[in-house]
Amino acid sequence: MEIFIRRCAAVGVALAVLLAVHISAQQAHGGGKLVRLATTTSTDNSGLIDHLAPQFERDTGYSLQVIAVGTGKALQLGKRGDVDVILVHAPTSEARFVADGHGVHRHVVMENDFIVVGPRDDPAKLGGAKSAADAFARLVKGKSRAVKFVSRGDDSGTHKKEMTLWRDAGVEPAWSGRFEVGQGMGKSLQIAEELQAYLLIDRGTWIFLRDQTTLEVVFQGDPSLGNPYGVIAVSPKRAPVNFGGAKAFIDWLTSKRGQRAIGDYTVAGTRLFTPMAGH
C-alpha cells in the first residue's frame, strides 16, 4: 500500500507539472503587450469597444482584452489590481478612486446622455415633465402599481446616476412598481419591455438596441442627464499592472486618432458617443 501511495503522489506531481506547463504556455502568450481594460456594459454592449479595439491594436502594437462589467465592479477590479486600465461613467466614484490612490491619469474622453424610456401610453405623464427632477417625481407621485420602473440595482454607473436623480428630485424611490433587477443594460431593457416599465438608459445602448423593443423615449434633454465617460490607469504603486500599456491606451484614446475613432462610430447613421478629451 505504501508503494502504491508513493506512486500516486508521483502521478499527482506529474499532473501539477502538466497544469504548470498549461499555465506558463498561456503566460507566454500575453507578456507586456497585453492590456486589460475593465469597462461598462454600455460601452461594450453598444459595440463601441469592438470598433475601437482593432484600431488601437493596429496603431500601438498592444493587444487589448476587454472585461465588460458594471462601473462598480470595474472600479473594484481596478482597486485589486486585476486590470490595467478602466473606462467607466461615474464621475464622483472616479474622482474618489483617484483621490484614494488607486488610479492616475484620469481623463474624460467622451460623453453621451441618459434618457428615460417607457411604454407608449406613458401612464406617469413623463412627456410633460419640465426637468429631470420633475420627471422622477412624477414616477413616484401616485405610488401606483400601474407605473413600473426597472432599476439596474447593480451599483453600475447608470444605477448610481438613477440614485442621484431620485435624490435630486427629493423623493424616496420606494413603491411596489419599482424593480431592482441587478442586470446589465441590455438585459434590463428586455425586462422593462416585458413589464412595460420605465427605464433610465444611456443613449448609446438605446440606439444600439431600440429595434428590439416597443418602448419609446419619454424624457430627454435635461442638462443633469449628461453622461461623461472617464478613463483611468490603475496605479502601478499598488499592484504589478501593465502601466505602460494602460498609458498607451489612454494616450491613444485622447489623441486625435482615438477621438476621431470615437466620433466615427455610428449605428444606423446616429453617432453614439461624442468625443470630448481636453474639455
Partner 1 sequence: MDLFEATAQALVLLAVFDPALWEIIGISFRVSLTAICIAIPPALLAAFLLAHLEFPGRRVLISLFNTLLSLPAVVIGLTVYLMLSRQGPLGDWQLLFTRSAMVIAQIMLAFPILVSMSHAAFQAADQRAWETARTLGIPSPQAFVMVVGEVRFGLLAAVLAGFGRIIAEVGASMMVGGNILHFTRNIPTAIALETSMGNFAQGIALGIVLLIIAFALNLSLQYFQGRGKLSL
Q: What is the binding site for partner 1 (CB under 8 A)? A: 1, 3-4, 7-8, 11-12, 15, 18-19, 22-23, 26-27, 30, 36, 41, 45, 65-68, 80-82, 183-184, 186-187, 189-190, 209, 212, 239-241
105 vs 187, which CB is nearer to partner 1? 187
Nine-digit cell at 105? 491619469
What's the min distance (Å) between Cβ of 244 and partner 1? 16
* Least distance in angstroms from the C-beta of 183 to partner 1: 7
Residue 234 near residue 78 (C-beta atoms within 8 A): yes
Residue closer to partner 1, measured from CB, 30 or 142: 30
Length of the chain: 279
Pairing relationship of beta strands 178-180 and 34-40 according to DSSP bridges? unpaired
Letter string b/e over residues 103-121, b meaning 16 or more CB atoms within 10 A of that residue's CB: bbbbbbbbbbbbbbbbbee
Q: Decide whether 66 or 217 has the Cβ nearer to partner 1.
A: 66
Taking a C-beta distance cutoff of 8 angstroms, is the pair 195, 215 a contact? no
C-beta of 4 vs 99, nearer to partner 1: 4
Q: How far is the CB of 186 from partner 1 (least distance, A)?
A: 4
The answer to whether 149 and 117 are in contact (CB under 8 A) is no
Q: What minimum distance in Å lies between the beta carbon of 36 and partner 1?
A: 7
The alpha carbon of 130 is separated from its chain's Cα centroid by a whole number of angstroms, namely 29
CB of 231 to partner 1, least distance (A): 19
In the bound complex, what is the minimum distance in angstroms from residue 62's beta carbon to partner 1?
14
Environment class of residue 26 by beta-carbon count within 10 Å: exposed (0-12), middle (13-18) or buried (19+)?
A: exposed
Nearer to partner 1, 147 or 215 (CB): 215
Q: Which of 231, 244, 255, 252 is nearest to 78 (CA)?
A: 231
**Closer CB to partner 1, residue 236 or residue 263?**
236
